[in-house]
Amino acid sequence: MHAVKRLVLSLAPMLVLYYSHAQINQWTVKAGETIQEVLGDSTIYRYPQFVDGRVYYNDGKASRGLLNFNRLTGQMEFIAPSKDTLAIANESTIKYIAVQKDTFYFDKVYLELIHHNAATTLGKLDVIKLVDIKKEGAFGQMNSTSSITSTSFFYSGRQDYQLAQKVEITLKEQTKFFISNGNDDFLPATKKNINKIFSHKSSAIEPFIKEHNIDISKQDDLVSLIDFLEKA
């Protein structure tokens, strides 16, 4: 009996550590707080600080500046000569953006290049989404509202708004993968789209997934599948 108690006590710190780690990608901003206070720039932005980058355009021109990707607004931002933080406009004219050793494409959203081979290109959308808004109801209880507005309602660029009293929001990190169809267009990296892009190799896809226990929602597994299909 004593041995069992000691075992349970020894496991307790491990369980707390695991739970804390599991919740690290979700945040609650309560009434009177700001998103900036709760998350901080290190979470809101892709890089710890604005870093040297180049924007390459479809017409062959390029521009250089200090860049950073805002995971809350989904925008690529730059430091203007006036020292203001602004979002890059006219994204449809962009061929790609190079920030340090990373590459970003724009196809309705900014996708960070994670893998490329002769067959296709994989991109990643890594953003922070507003998933819940609670307002104080009867007896002081916080209840979810029926609709969720854009995060920009609370945060716009570097302008951070303090939440109104009796309101709190929940933000969650969201990562989605996209695959190029070969025409500079990206599609969600679903099994259906992978079969569509590799239709001439579709008979090899399901056996490989089953044999290697592939989970295409995981980056390493998705890369393994795409590399296999390149050579299949």
- Which of 102, 45, 215, 53 lies closest to 111, judged by CA? 102
* pLDDT score for 36: 87
Query: Which value, to the nearest 10 degrees, does the dihedral of the CA atoms of residues 60, 62, 68, 69 take?
Result: -20
Both tokens assigned to 159: 């302008």
Global pTM? 0.80
The per-residue pLDDT for range 223-232, each reduced to its tens digit, is 999 999 999 8
Indicate if the pLDDT at residue 15 is higher than 50: no
Residue 140 has a pLDDT of 56
CA 155 – CA 36 distance, rounded (Å): 8
**In this structure, what DSSP letter does residue 166 have?**
T
> Which residues are 79's β-sheet partners?
85
106-127 tens-digit pLDDT: 999 999 999 999 999 999 999 9
How confident is the model over 44-62, as pLDDT tens digits? 999 999 999 999 999 999 9
- CB of 122 closer than 8 Å to CB of 115: yes
